[in-house]
Amino acid sequence: MIFKKEVNFPYPVLSQYTTDYPDSSFELDVNVFDLGKSYKFTIDYRLNSSFISSLLSIKKASIVAIFESIDSSYYQCCDELIIPKNRISLSKKTQIQLFIKTNSRISLANNNELDKFYDAHLSKVFIDKDRVLAISNVVRFDGDLKHPFKLFEKEYDKTMETDISVELTSEMIRLKYRNKDFVFPQNKRYNPLNNSYFYLGLQKALIRFLVTYRDEDDDSVNILNIDDPSDGLDLKLYNLMKIKGVETYNLESVDKVIHSISDRIVEKQIITMRGFIENEG
């Protein structure tokens, strides 16, 4: 439903593909946040056309947001749209555009924003209901937001004093094991059982982040207020939290942050263990 072609419309349309409204504009900007089970899109538009704005205010026109990826959905436009992940996938190209459409038949007689070409015809031009009046630019998302960061690495060290340790390096969360047996065998069914160690690693990294970047007299950190961290691992965590919409946390809410940024790691572990026990019975 996205429209990007240069065509001749049978009446004036405001868009970057037409010259009908020489001084007016309709621009769109969109940001997306990963909320775990859904995406949140913030819709920010600028309509520079008093004729069309007035039609909107008296409800003779309305703005529709069109999302096209595998198929097309349209929504009554508002500041924010939350779409569940079973209805939209961002891993294929996704395009968003706004249309302004007529809700009833309208006259262009009072439209003084049009190209002079239309002057002679204005009183005779009517546009029917359910027709497009304005088309914004397209905002596009390519590829996925999922996990562009590799956070973990594993190491075996026979000389360790403890069975397991979690180290934070300048780029990674390093899980060290004294014995290869502590990491479950390569059979793919068992791998997620490593997740409790992942959980420990993330906890340690997030607590260190909290201690490093928190406000002075506060026991919490505000992601939106800090500058880009210079440490590699901290930067990964920072970006991951921004994308997932985490704004602030403290010691008590570290678990919630882990849940938001790690695609339900602990959930997967529980499901696997159940599967295990049932099969052995």
Partner 1 sequence: MLNEGYLKQESFYEDFVNNKLNGNAKYFSEEAYYIDDLKPFPIYIPLSSNIKEEQQNQYLEAFNTFSECYLKLDRELLFSQRFWHSLFLLEFREYLVDLYPEILVSKSKFNNIVLKQLNWENYIYKIILGSQYINECVEEQQRDHYYKLIVHNMDMYNYVIKTRILRNDMFLKNVLDIIDNNNLSKTLKAFIKDRPDLGKDPRYGRMVIFEFNKSYPVVLSPMMDYRSLEEKFIEYLKIYWKGQL
Residue with tokens 């956070």: 151
Q: Which of 16, 40, 60, 64 forms a contact with partner 1 (CB under 8 A)?
A: 64
Least distance to partner 1, CB of residue 159, Å: 28
> 83 or 226, CB closer to partner 1?
83
Q: Which of 107, 123, 271, 276 forms a contact with partner 1 (CB under 8 A)?
A: 271
Does the protein bind partner 1 through residue 189 (CB under 8 A)?
Answer: yes
Does the protein bind partner 1 through residue 150 (CB under 8 A)?
Answer: no
Q: Which two tokens stand for residue 216?
A: 């002075």
Closest CA to 62 of 76, 74, 48, 47: 76
Q: Which two tokens stand for residue 164?
A: 């397991």
Closest CA to 149 of 173, 169, 166, 165: 173
Does the protein bind partner 1 through residue 188 (CB under 8 A)?
Answer: yes
SS3 183: coil
Does the protein bind partner 1 through residue 87 (CB under 8 A)?
Answer: yes
Total residues contacting partner 1 by CB under 8 A comes to 35
Closest CA to 166 of 157, 175, 158: 175
Sole window of 24-32, 173-181, 185-193, 203-211 interacting with partner 1 (rule: CB under 8 A): 185-193
Q: Which two tokens stand for residue 274?
A: 């159940």
Question: Which are the contacts of 160, defined by CB distance < 8 A and separation ≥ 6?
Answer: 176, 177, 178
Enumerate binding residues for partner 1 (CB under 8 A): 1, 3, 9-10, 64, 68, 70-74, 85-92, 99, 101, 129-132, 135, 144, 188-189, 191-192, 268, 271-272, 275
